Amino acid sequence: MKSILTCYTRPLVSRIFAITDIETTGSHAAANSITEIAVVLTDGVSEIDRFQSLVQPEHLIPFHITQLTGISNEMVEGAPRFEDLAEELYDWFKDAVFVAHNVGFDYAFIKKSFEAYGYYFHPQRLCTVRLARKIFPGLPSYSLGRICDRFGIDNEARHRAMGDTMATVELFHRMVARDQSGIIDQQLKRGNAAQWLPPSLPEEQFHRLPERTGVYYFHDRTGKILYIGMSANIKKRIRQHFGGKMDSKRRQAFLSDITSISFELTGTTAIARLLEDAEIRKHWPPYNFAQKRPAKRFSIQQYRDRMGYVRWSIQPLKPGMKGDLVFHSLAEARDAALGWCRRYELHPSLLGLHQTGEPLPDADVHNEKLEALREELSAGGGRIIVQGEGRKESESSFVWVENGELVGYGFVDRNEDLAAERVELLKNFLNRVPTSEMTRSIIRELISKA
């Protein structure tokens, strides 16, 4: 079957909406394909035209998908491939607003399919899940089946593209009629967050996010923490989370689960990193993967060359290998070495860094400086209080380090004297943080830059 077209005279309207549904071989676009597609053009009040076709997915449809949709391998055997439909479909979507129930799912598949054949597909989008939450607030469920049952919208062909599309058309028409406050127009504004936010996340929560340093948390509908991150600009970083491709199963599940965001300001990125590490280890969120897999680490190795210079070399830390100073990345190790070079006036090439073209210092002088640095690092340097920016202009932050180990961090009035000797004052504002390899590396980096 090529397509089924019902012809109407298209009225002169300001916007055309291409309400769409697809059936697929699986739940994520990266490894699956479209088996059926339906598009209905509407002006928001009346249907204008419609398109429907089975699609040859070019690989087998799993049995459980056939059970759900009724679409079998035999049914699509003679159907056109997406490549055969692409030119015609592209004209259908051209200059129209792309509308679907949970629009990110359908858009990911159709965008991937278009781009595979050289078409640029980036239309304005509307999600009827998100619209329904705003126009019909307080419903127990916003799945297409449940919301249609509630409003008496017939759909005798559930889990088939045209059946679900026509149900979405009826729902959309009712929302247009009910939308007295211009919600749909607001969401169609260029760059509107509703086009790319997760469908269950209130748009207002995103707009209230600060463009400041801190730790942020993604939650599901029960309040469970799904993911913890940190950034010097919370709002910008969260926007990046939602702006990527939707074609992986894990990413689709991640975004569909997010219903709320919380955050905690920290003043400095160092405290943000410390808090992020502590919170991840406390809650072990399901979508934080970095702390759950063995990370490649680096260490400082010491040796004496033939000219008598004691040198430090940054090397990958192999299994079973011990290192006095361990880092979580090559960049982190190099940053620490650069800090030591500045503080002790050491030659970078003798600490495993770049050649500068400058002559090497006297070997005995260099070796004495390096030994002093090693003793300081071994002893931990006693009590060190590193001061930084606070969460607001009226306060300062501090990080308390004792003999190289993190004690914690805190915030005090900006006018307070944060001398290391004022232990009793600092204890009153101290948030203790458990030590880990990550906190040790953060502390080394922080002290080297202090």
Mean pLDDT of the chain: 86
Whether residue 159 lies inside any domain: the answer is yes
Is pLDDT at 361 greater than 60 in this prediction?
A: yes
Q: Which of 161-165, 284-288, 373-377, 424-428 has the highest mean pLDDT?
A: 161-165
Residue where a domain stops, chosen among 137, 168, 195 = 195
77 shares its domain with 218? no
95 vs 344: CA distance, rounded Å = 64
| Nearest alpha carbon to residue 161 among 19, 339, 12, 354 | 19
Bridge partners of 41? 18, 49
Q: Out of 315-329, 407-421, 426-440, which region has the weakest mean confidence (pLDDT)?
A: 315-329
348 shares its domain with 374? yes
Residue percentage of the chain with pLDDT more than 90 = 50
User: Residue type for 403, please?
Assistant: N
Q: Out of 89-93, 117-121, 135-139, 376-380, which region has the weakest mean confidence (pLDDT)?
A: 376-380
Asked if 80 and 60 touch (Cβ cutoff 8 Å), the reply is: no
What's the domain count of the chain? 4
Is pLDDT at 442 greater than 90 in this prediction?
A: no
287 shares its domain with 391? no
Q: Which of 144-148, 165-169, 311-315, 337-341 has the highest mean pLDDT?
A: 165-169
Range of the domain at 46: 17-195
Beta strand segments in 77-132, E: 97-100, 125-127
For the chain, give the longest Cα–Cα distance.
92
Higher pLDDT, 263 or 254: 263
396 vs 206: CA distance, rounded Å = 27
pLDDT in tens, 43-85: 999 999 999 999 999 889 999 999 999 999 999 999 999 999 9
Is pLDDT at 30 greater than 90 in this prediction?
A: no
Catalytic residue among 28, 101, 159, 219: 159
Residue percentage of the chain with pLDDT more than 70 = 90
335 shares its domain with 419? no
Residue where a domain stops, chosen among 359, 379, 399 = 379
366 vs 374: CA distance, rounded Å = 12
Q: For this structure, is 28 an active site residue?
A: no
pLDDT in tens, 221-256: 899 999 999 999 999 999 888 876 555 667 777 888
Strands of the 214-219 sheet, one edge to the other? 225-231, 214-219, 260-265
User: Residue type for 124, please?
Assistant: Q
Please give the pLDDT value at position 323.
62
- Tell me the pLDDT band of 449, cut-offs 50, 70 and 90: low
- Tell me the pLDDT band of 292, cut-offs 50, 70 and 90: low
> Environment class of residue 117 by beta-carbon count within 10 Å: exposed (0-12), middle (13-18) or buried (19+)?
middle
Rounded average pLDDT over 176-188: 88
In the three-class reduction of DSSP (H, G, I as helix; E, B as strand; rest coil), residue 218 is classed as strand
Whether residue 8 lies inside any domain: the answer is no
Rounded average pLDDT over 143-155: 91
Please give the pLDDT value at position 251.
74
Higher pLDDT, 169 or 318: 169
DSSP string, 150-208: HHT---TTTTSHHHHHHHHHHHHHHHHHH--S-HHHHHHSTT-GGGTS-TTS-HHHHHT
User: Which helix (H) or strand (E) is 66 found in, with range?
Assistant: helix 63-69
Task: Report the CATH number at residue 112.
Answer: 3.30.420.10
Residue where a domain stops, chosen among 332, 354, 379 = 379
Whether residue 147 lies inside any domain: the answer is yes
Please give the pLDDT value at position 126.
92
User: 450: Cβ–Cβ under 8 A, 6 or more apart, which residues?
Assistant: 384, 386
